[in-house]
A and B are shown apart, each in its own frame.
Chain A
Amino acid sequence: MQKQLDEKQLQALLRLKRHENPPPGYFDGLLDRVHRRQREEMLSRPAWQIAIDRIRAFFAPLQMSWRQAGALAALLVVGVFAIRVAIPDRIAVPAQFAQVVDGGSLQNLAPNITLQPGSTKPLTAQQNRYVQRDPDAPVRFIIDAQPVSYETTQIRF
C-alpha cells in the first residue's frame, strides 16, 4: 500500500511555492501598466458614469447613508419642481394690457380718466438750476451702478 504525506509534509511541499517569483523587475513596470489601465478606463467610460462617480465622490465626505442620500435627492427634485411651478415660463398679460401692446391707445386702459395736457406746474428758478446744464461744462454720463471697463475683455459680469 502506498504511503501518503502527513499534514506537516504536505504543508512543507506546498510552501515550496513561495519560491516561485515573477521575473526580476516585474514590479518596477507594474505602476506604469496600472496607470495605462486607469487612462483606458477613463476614456472608455460613458459620460454619465463619470458624472455619477463625481457626484458620489462629492458626497462621500458627508458620510451619508443611502437613505439620507435618497432623501436629499428627493428634496432637491421637489425643490426644483416647486421653483418651476412658482415661476411660469410666460407671465400672463391681462386682456386690456394686451390691447395696449397690440397698438391700442392708453385711453383703453382707463376710459374714465381725462388726460389734461400742461397741467403740471412749471419749475421754480431754484429747481431749474438742477436741470439746466452749463454749456461749457464737460458732458457727463450717468452710468448705472455696474462695473465698467473700457479695456477690451471677454469677461462679462
Chain B
Amino acid sequence: MDEQEKSRREDEDLVARAQTGDAVAFDALVMKHSPRLYALVYHMTANHDDTDDLLQDVWAKVYRSIGGFRGQSQFYTWLHSVAANTTVNFVKKRTRRRTLNLDDLDSGILQDKEFIELQAASTPVRDADLGELQKKINEAIQQLTPDHRLVVTMFDIQGMPHADIAKTLRISEGTVRSRLFYAHQQLRTQLAEFAPTNHSTAP
C-alpha cells in the first residue's frame, strides 16, 4: 500500500470517528492537514496574520459541516475545496490592504537544487538579496487575479496535478490549463528582470 493510499484510509477512519463526535479524531485531522492547508492559504494571501485567521475559519467551517461529508470525494480534496473557496472570497473582498507580511525563508533554500541551478543561470538571481527576491516573487503573484493565483499556488508551488486541481475547484482540466497559461504569461512579464542574461546562459 503506497503512502497516498495509507493516508487516504487514515483520513477515512478519522473522518468517520469525527462524525460520531470523537473530538480527538477531529484534532488529529487538524494536526495532519494544517501544514499543507497553511501553505495554500499563505501563498494566496502573502500575509501571515490573515493566513492564521483564515485557517481557523476553515477549520470552523469543516467542524460545522463534517457531519454532512458523505465521502463522495476524498476528505483531502473536500478540505482543500473549503480552504480555496474561503480564501478566494477573502482575497476578493480585501481590496485595500495589500501589505505583505511574509514568513521567513528557511535555510533549506541554500541547498535547493533548483535554486542553485537558477543562480548559476541567472546573474540577477545570483546578485539579488534573498529577501528582495522573495518580495519580488510575492508581489508578482499578488498581481494575479485570485482565480489565477489559486491555480499557480496549487500547481507551481504545491505541485498538485491538473486533475486534482480540477476536482478541488470543480472546474475542467482545460480551464486549469488555460488559467495557468495566462497566469504564467503575466508572471513572466512581472519577473522578467530575473531572466538569464545571454552570457550566463551559454552552454
Contacts and interface: CB of A to CB of B under 8 A. Distances in A.
Interface of A: 2-5, 7, 9-23, 26-27, 30-31, 33-34, 37-38, 41, 53, 56-57, 60
Interface in B25-79: 27, 30-31, 34-35, 38-39, 42-43, 48, 51-52, 55-56, 59-60, 63-64, 67-68
A107 B114 CA distance: 111
Ranked nearest first, the 8 interchain pairs of A and B with the lowest CB-CB distance are: A19-B109, A14-B156, A12-B114, A3-B195, A20-B103, A37-B56, A4-B188, A19-B105
Contacts of B194: 5, 9, 13
Contacts of B21: 57
Nearest to B157: A17
Nearest to A58: B67
B171 interface: no
Interface in B95-139: 102-106, 108-109, 112, 114-115, 117-118, 121-122, 125, 133-134, 137-138
A4 B48 contact: no
Contacts, number: 123
Most B Cβ at <10 Å: residue of A31, A34, A57: A34
Contact of B114 (A15, A20, A53, A57): A15
B196 A27 contact: no
B4 interface: no
Contact of B43 (A4, A7, A17, A56): A17
A26 B194 CA distance: 32
Contacts of B34: 27, 30
A12 B121 CA distance: 12
B104 A20 contact: yes
Contact of B108 (A2, A3, A19, A31): A19
B103 A9 contact: no
A23 B48 CA distance: 9
A24 B106 CA distance: 10
A4 B21 CA distance: 54
B32 to A, nearest CB: 11
Contacts of B197: 3
B15 interface: no
Given A3-B197, A3-B198, A57 B157 contact: no
B114 to A, nearest CB: 4
B30 A9 contact: no
B103 A3 contact: no
A38 B118 contact: no
A55 to B, nearest CB: 11
A41 to B, nearest CB: 6
A68 to B, nearest CB: 14
B183 to A, nearest CB: 10
A4 B137 CA distance: 15
B187 interface: yes
Contacts of B133: 16
A16 B109 contact: yes
Contacts of B192: 2-5
Contacts of B103: 20-23
Contacts of A57: 21, 67
B117 to A, nearest CB: 7
Nearest to B121: A9
B102 A20 contact: yes
